[in-house]
Structure 1
Amino acid sequence: MKQILYRLFEHQYLGKEEAREILQNMVAGKYTDTQIASLITVFLMRNISVEELAGFTDALLEMRVPVDLAEYKPLDIVGTGGDGKNTFNISTAACFVVAGAGYPVVKQGNYGATSVSGSSNVIEQHGVKFTADNDKLRASMDGCNMAYLHAPLFSSAMKAVAPIRKSLGVRTFFNMLGPLINPCRPAYQLLGVYNLPLLRLYSYSYQQSLANFAVVHSMDGYDEISLTAPFKVATATTEKVYTPEMLGLKRIDPTELYGGETPEEAALLFDRVLRNQCTDAQRDCVLINAAFAIRVIEPERSVESCLAIARESLESGKTLATFKKFVALNS
């Protein structure tokens, strides 16, 4: 590892197979925590390359616990995290809106590493017990169109580095890897990233492996559609910048997306959204993310049509009913 670190400190890049082997060795316990932290730091100082991303991803996929949910052709809505914005759990809420609208969703998530409350924190606050049991996951899909995969149960690598990530408290290249290693290999994915270089990197990577995707980035640095600024959406065939006003929505002040100081507070905010008892800003932010996710599944629909589907799911109570059923099936 010492020689690898020297090379990286001299601004050299890893090859795909080299990156794959390094991550395998990391999980095998061949490196110290200090060495791993040093490696992570390198990727805070420069962008990860396509080859490095592919190698790290291959290693994690080879070591994952597989999940057989392909027949559902599910969607995942996920952000890289690491934008430092401490928003409420927007993508997780959007998942339940989409599931409430009748689309199958398999959400992969984790505890917050750089934020107060990751998706696993807010889900666990409701008494949900995480599982890797295929039968239980299938029962959840059949019962409410939604299954949740707690990342450490499916990836020994993520579990191994979790304490280091938490102690560093900053975004790492593992934030970049998370969306690529959903063990069920979803048929559709809406991914939020925190900068434009990552949007281009993921767009290129997904074009090699996943046709049905959209990568989104709010131009003021959010890893989701925040409605606080113009945002860019990239798919396999298009790349377009939208403004909230283009879609008939109001621009949001960043303070309106505040995620709370504790997981308990984050869970209360999350509940208000699902009960449709939230602010207009919170509601619109969740709905627009759900709308673009629906559009990944049905690209022939207009954004406005997808937004109407998402709004009906939330305002009719289908979103809340889906969540209650999910909790009942998974507690």
Structure 2
Amino acid sequence: MKQLLNRLYEHDKFSRDEARQILLNIAAEQYNEVQISAFATAFNMRPITLSELQGFRDALLELCVPLDLEGRETIDIVGTGGDGKNTFNISTLSCVVVAGAGYPVSKHGSYGVSSSVGSSDVLIQMGYQFTTDQDTLRRHLDKAGMCFLHAPLFHPALKVVGPIRRQLGTRTFFNMLGPLVNPVQPKYQMFGTFSMELLRMYQYIMQQSGRRFAIVYGLDGYDEISLTSDFKVVSNDSERIWSPVELGLKKLQQHDLDGGDSSEDAAKIFMSVLEDQATEAQKAAVIANAGMAIKVIKPEQSAEDCVAEARESIESGRAIAGWKKLVQS
């Protein structure tokens, strides 16, 4: 580790294979918590390179617990986190809404680290039981249209890293990895990134994957479609800047999306959205993201029509019906 830290101090970069080996060594507990904390902090002092991101990703996919969905085609909606905006759980809610609209979802998520409440935190609060049992997860997908992959269970090799990340409480390179290492590697994915540079790296990686994707970056720094500003979307087919009005929605203010300070606050907002009792702003943010995710699956359909599908998922009650089936199954 001393050699690695010295290289970082000299602003040296790691090859793809070197990055892969570093993460394999972390997983094998070859470094102690102080050394890992020092590495994560020093690494954060400069931008990650594409080769490093690819190498870290290679290692995590190599070590993860696999999940075979037996040919089921799914989508995941996930942000990197680390944008410092403390929004409510927009990505997770968007997944429930997309599932309610009839598109199977394999959601990959974890506890909040750089934000107050992550997707796993709110699901625990709502009574969902995490599992790696393949039959159970496939049943969830068939019955509720959605299954949830709790990252610490599917990436047990990184158990040593979780406490360190929580103690640091800041964005690290692990934020950049999370969205890329869904064990299912679903056919469709919508990512949110906290920077334009990371968007470009995700774009390259996904272009090599052959899967359908969209990558979102809010021009005011959000890792999702916040509707607080224009936002950039890069997909297999296009690259453009969108405005809220092009989705048939109004521009929002940052305070409209506040997620509160606790899992209880997050759970209240979560249920209010699904019960169609949320504020117009909260509902709009969710259907914007859910709609753009539907557009990944149906690129020939207009964005406004995709947003309308998402709205109907909530207003018809299908989204909350699917959620109740997921929690009860």
Query: Does the alignment reach a TM-score above 0.5?
Result: yes
Alignment root-mean-square deviation, CA: 0.9
1:310-325 mapped onto 2 (5 Å cutoff)? 310-325=310-325
Contact persistence 1:70–1:187 (CA under 8 A): no
Specify every segment of 5 or more residues in structure 2 that has no aligned partner in the other structure, as ranges: none
Quote how far apart the aligned CAs of 1:45 are: 1.4
In 2, the alpha carbon distance for the partners of 1:321 and 1:214 equals 27
Quote how far apart the aligned CAs of 1:70 are: 4.9
Bigger mean CA offset, 89-98 vs 202-211: 202-211
Residue equivalent to 1:9:
9
**4+ residue stretches of structure 1 with deviation over 6 A?**
none
Residue equivalent to 1:299:
299
Is 1:148 the equivalent of 2:160? no
Quote how far apart the aligned CAs of 1:118 are: 0.3
Is 1:90 the equivalent of 2:90? yes
In 2, the alpha carbon distance for the partners of 1:184 and 1:72 equals 10
Quote how far apart the aligned CAs of 1:44 are: 1.8
Contact persistence 2:247–2:288 (CA under 8 A): no
What amino acid is aligned across from residue 76 of structure 1 in structure 2? D
Quote how far apart the aligned CAs of 1:248 are: 2.2
In 1, the alpha carbon distance for the partners of 2:264 and 2:11 equals 42
Partner of 1:72, secondary structure, is coil
Bigger mean CA offset, 204-213 vs 137-146: 204-213
Quote how far apart the aligned CAs of 1:211 are: 2.8
In 2, the alpha carbon distance for the partners of 1:88 and 1:227 equals 14
What amino acid is aligned across from residue 117 of structure 1 in structure 2? V
Partner of 1:299, secondary structure, is coil
Q: CA, structure 1 residues 137+99, in 2 after alignment: closer, same or farther (shift >3 Å)? A: same
Residue equivalent to 1:269:
269
Partner of 1:277, secondary structure, is coil
In 1, the alpha carbon distance for the partners of 2:55 and 2:210 equals 17
In 2, the alpha carbon distance for the partners of 1:157 and 1:250 equals 44
Partner of 2:71, secondary structure, is helix
In 2, the alpha carbon distance for the partners of 1:10 and 1:18 equals 16
In 2, the alpha carbon distance for the partners of 1:97 and 1:245 equals 21
In 2, the alpha carbon distance for the partners of 1:117 and 1:253 equals 20
In 1, the alpha carbon distance for the partners of 2:266 and 2:81 equals 16
In 2, the alpha carbon distance for the partners of 1:168 and 1:210 equals 36
Quote how far apart the aligned CAs of 1:50 are: 0.8
Q: Deviations over 1:207-236 (max 9, x none)?
A: 111430000011111110000001000012
In 2, the alpha carbon distance for the partners of 1:184 and 1:112 equals 21
In 2, the alpha carbon distance for the partners of 1:211 and 1:74 equals 11
Contact persistence 1:216–1:231 (CA under 8 A): yes
Quote how far apart the aligned CAs of 1:158 are: 3.2
1:194-205 mapped onto 2 (5 Å cutoff)? 194-205=194-205
Is 1:165 the equivalent of 2:181? no
Quote how far apart the aligned CAs of 1:308 are: 1.0
Quote how far apart the aligned CAs of 1:160 are: 2.0
Residue equivalent to 1:126:
126
Q: CA, structure 1 residues 107+236, in 2 after alignment: closer, same or farther (shift >3 Å)? A: same
Contact persistence 2:111–2:121 (CA under 8 A): yes
Specify every segment of 5 or more residues in structure 1 that has no aligned partner in the other structure, as ranges: none
Aligned residue-pair number:
329
Quote how far apart the aligned CAs of 1:11 are: 0.7
In 2, the alpha carbon distance for the partners of 1:318 and 1:116 equals 28
What amino acid is aligned across from residue 146 of structure 1 in structure 2? M
Contact persistence 1:70–1:184 (CA under 8 A): no
Contact persistence 2:14–2:51 (CA under 8 A): yes
Partner of 2:26, secondary structure, is helix
Residue equivalent to 1:176:
176
Residue equivalent to 2:230:
230
Residue equivalent to 2:290:
290
TM-score, normalization by structure 2: 0.98
Contact persistence 2:246–2:304 (CA under 8 A): no
In 2, the alpha carbon distance for the partners of 1:49 and 1:277 equals 44
In 1, the alpha carbon distance for the partners of 2:284 and 2:130 equals 29
Contact persistence 2:111–2:119 (CA under 8 A): yes
1:42-121 mapped onto 2 (5 Å cutoff)? 42-121=42-121
In 1, the alpha carbon distance for the partners of 2:250 and 2:199 equals 24
Contact persistence 1:70–1:185 (CA under 8 A): no
Partner of 1:71, secondary structure, is coil
